[in-house]
Amino acid sequence: MSYMNIRLPGIMNSLRAMAIFVILLISLNSALAQQNFTQVKAAFERYQSGAYYEKVFIHTDREFYLAGELMWFKSYNTDAATNRPSVLSKVTYLELFDANKKSVLQTKIPINGGSGNGSVFLPLSLQSGNYVLRAYTSWMMNFGPDLFFEKKITILNSLSPGGVEPVSALSYDVQFFPEGGNLLANVENKVAFRVTNSGGFGESFRGAVIDERNDTVARFQPLKFGIGNFSFMPAANKKYRAIVYVKGNSQTVSAELPTVRTSGYNLKVITAGPGQVNVKVNSVQNSGPVYLFIHNRQQTKVAEVGVIENGTASFNVDIAKLDEGISHFTIFNSDLRPVAERLYFKRPKRQLAIQATTDKRDYSQRNKVNIGVEAQLNNRPAEADMSVAIYKLDSLSSASGTDFFNYQWLSSELKGNVEQADYYFRESGSEIDQALDNLMLTHGWRRFQWTDVLKGQEPVINHIPEFDGHIITGTIKDRNTGRPASGIMTFLSIPSKRTQIYSSRSDENGKIRFFTKGLQGPGEAVVQTNLMQDSSYVIEISNPFSEALPQTLAGVFKVPGVSYSLLQDHHVNTQVQNVYFANKLRSFKASSVDSTSFYGQPEFIYNLDDFVRFKTTEEVLREYVPAVVIFRQRNNFNVVVDKKTASGPVGSVPLIILDGVPIFDRGNKIMAYDPAKIQRLEVSTKNSFLGDTTFNSIVNFTSFKGNLEGFELDPRDLVIDYEGLQLQREFFSPLYETEVERSSRLPDMRQLLYWSPNVRTDKNGKSSVSFYTSDQSGKYVVVIQGITADGKPGSAAATFEVNNSQGN
């Protein structure tokens, strides 16, 4: 006893010292772990500080069309991080793809202040079917097609033989998504699944998971849209597959589950009470620190360290720390490698409320409709940029469509098609919350690779932002060696009466970029070098549209419940509008582009019809243009402009232009041109600057037709068809203000009564639209999409009736 009394204090002191040592060691390891993890946070924030992502949302006037109709649309371009209107890109690229993912229509839309609008004619060559509308900016192409806007539209060609195409047999795609990314042996795993048909839509079904002995280990069925989840504990070194029964038991699909891993990590995210979620990390054959990193819209929200004990680590996350929308949960191991990841959705509040109110519920034909539009942000008046479409409802044209709010918060942040996105926002409740979480498990992705972030590797930028209009790109190569040529000045011009010449000096990779501010409409482009200096090169112009295929499936074409008479009505109405209002439908707004030439105001202008005509261009210049001096030796000409300088007159070799195209020649070609075709001549003796090139003087000829009529370009010049930014059509809506107009026998068969892409509420949150009904009775819907300057999207819908009578 005395022995124990003597030794006990020493033992206690040793245990105390050991405990202190352990605590210090744990604290030191925790501090080191936190310090190491700080590197991840710093690398992420450094990477994101230099990243700028854009989104595009397209509001179309409808989602069903007949071939031969116009499709009207508005492009809303936003900053992906803040949802505010983007100030970066000034061009939206829009394409239409058929069911074979072939691009059948392409156009470019000018953007100003984060929005722009346009229209496309749907040609009669389009076959009946579902199509995918895709839109993006050039800058967005740097980050892949997953961020592009896509939605389905339907086009019916009422003139095509056979009418509606038959529905083909459906095939099915079965996919499984273990929570966190890994199927881990000997622990419970949540596995999400998605079963879609060849049309891209979710299927109802029942399924079972079986092992190698065909024993059933789990059963499952979807909660919504072919999506759901189940849990089971897979055994090590076993393989599992699923049997899915669709259409009752009439069709069976088999699919393998992911390989079971005997080491690694998985995670579970579950609600842990009001305002809390618990993140549980399971690990097999691993111990030590793990790290939870949560980010939302390029911002770090949570960065915490945990320790694997008995195969598990746990984190409690305060939901208040997370921003609205989608957050990315990533688990890093002790080596700071990402080992598990999933998405989490925090439901956003609808802050922008838009309301449309008609002055009556029922209207007669050719009657005026007045609609008041009101926008409120958090119950206060809001100024908003909006677009409004008003069209007839029937079994072909429905009121459902892509909603701006749903797209910004959900569809644009997820990979793949989100079926009926409005379902997730229509109401709240446990079923919708579960469906949302299933969506997070099956549609997860991110805009970057963690390996790039941790290595400090910046994204590869192949497309510079179009700050000030469309940029035409290409390459120039040595004609003999095929190698890229650097430092070569190239010129792109548009044959027309307006001088549009753009220049670019090739970089070290032979890349050329023409900044074509103000280039509008279809036409030809001439790309060339100065053949008097650089004549041994070949130029190629790049396709400005993305080469990537659309992500969305157009799907099986089917128009349910449509009678022949309804199709006939739509067909007749379209044909009547195209016949009687053809000129109105082809009406374009006057261009607001600055038409001043790059050399400014010339000192001398000659309209040749004001003078006696001569038979040769040489005689014209000698007789009427004293600033231009002609030297001739036999059949060779040398054109010189007499420049007056402080030290006296100096002769300079001018840039000669014909119909906006540079003619790199001392004068032989222009002297051979028929002067009877020349309408106007301008001479500038000032120094003029085009890019980094200086021209001492300019002699600019313009023909009557402005199309180089009768002039043969050098065969080394590249001539291509090229379309600039889209010309803006004017939406036609007839007026019936007088009795004479209302009594007109000219038929008005409009189904689309009104379209405006530029409705803006004032500081009181109010605006209005007015238009007249057509000769079509029925139910009409008002659809409004819009956004505020601080990035709050919203939408609204309202309906009214038009009866068969005519009246005021």
Q: Are 641 and 699 in contact (CB under 8 A)?
A: yes
DSSP category for residue 140: G
Kindly report the pTM of this predicted structure.
0.90
What residue has token string 């074509």?
A: 516
The answer to whether the CB of 103 falls within 8 A of the CB of 545 is: yes
Give domain 54-165+559-585's CATH architecture: Sandwich (2.60)
**Which residues of the chain, if any, have pLDDT below 70?**
1-35, 161-169, 249, 400, 559-564, 580, 584, 645-649, 807-808
Which position has the token pair 């397209």?
58
Distance CA 607, CA 98 (A): 50
Q: How far is CA 26 from the centre of its chain?
A: 50
Rounded to whole angstroms, how far apart are CA atoms 266 and 269? 10
Do residues 790 and 352 lie in contact, with contact meaning Cβ atoms separated by under 8 Å? no
The residues, any chain, with a CB within 8 Å of residue 302's CB and separated by 6 or more, are 292, 293, 294, 317, 321, 322
Cβ–Cβ < 8 Å for 346, 269:
no
CB 281 within 8 A of CB 331: yes
As a whole number of angstroms, the distance between CA 236 and CA 791 comes to 50
Pairing of strands 299-308, 698-703: unpaired
Strand partners for 307: 289
Q: CA 69 to CA 643: how far, in whole Å?
A: 56
Provide the token pair at 59.
């509001």
What pLDDT digit, counting tens, does each position of 151-168 carry? 999 998 888 744 444 445
The one-letter amino acid code at 592 reads S
703 CB contacts (<8 Å, ≥6 apart)?
A: 658, 659, 677, 678, 679, 709
Can you say whether residue 288 is alpha, beta or left, with left for phi > 0 and alpha for psi between -120 and 50 degrees?
A: left
Contacts (Cβ under 8 Å, ≥6 apart) of 530 = 489, 491, 662, 664
> Chain centroid to CA 249: how far?
41
Sheet holding 172-178, edge to edge: 172-178, 189-197, 227-232
Residue of 129, 135, 162 lying closest to 149 (CA atoms): 135
Buried residues in 676-708 as b, exposed as e (16+ CB within 10 A): ebbbbbbbbbeebebbeeebbbbbbbbbeebeb
**Tokens standing for 430?**
């446990």
Which residue has 């849990």 as its token pair? Answer: 231
Among the listed residues 71, 82, 78, the one whose alpha carbon sits nearest the alpha carbon of residue 54: 78
What residue type is assigned to position 685 of the chain? Answer: T
Query: What pLDDT is attached to residue 709?
Result: 94
| 570: DSSP letter | H
Q: Is 129 left (phi over 0), alpha (psi -120 to 50) or beta?
A: left
Please give the Cα distance from 649 to 628 (Å, whole number).
Answer: 12
* Three-state secondary-structure class, residue 262: coil
Which is the CATH superfamily of the domain at 604-705?
TonB-dependent receptor, plug domain (2.170.130.10)
Token couple for 78: 């936003």
C-alpha closest to that of 28 among 439, 305, 419, 216: 305
Compute the distance between CA of residue 517 and CA of residue 515 in angstroms, rounded to an integer.
Answer: 6
Number of Cβ within a 10 Å radius of residue 557: 20
11 vs 349: CA distance, rounded Å:
62
Query: Is-contact 386 784, C-beta < 8 A?
Result: yes
For residue 210, what are the β-bridge partners?
216, 241
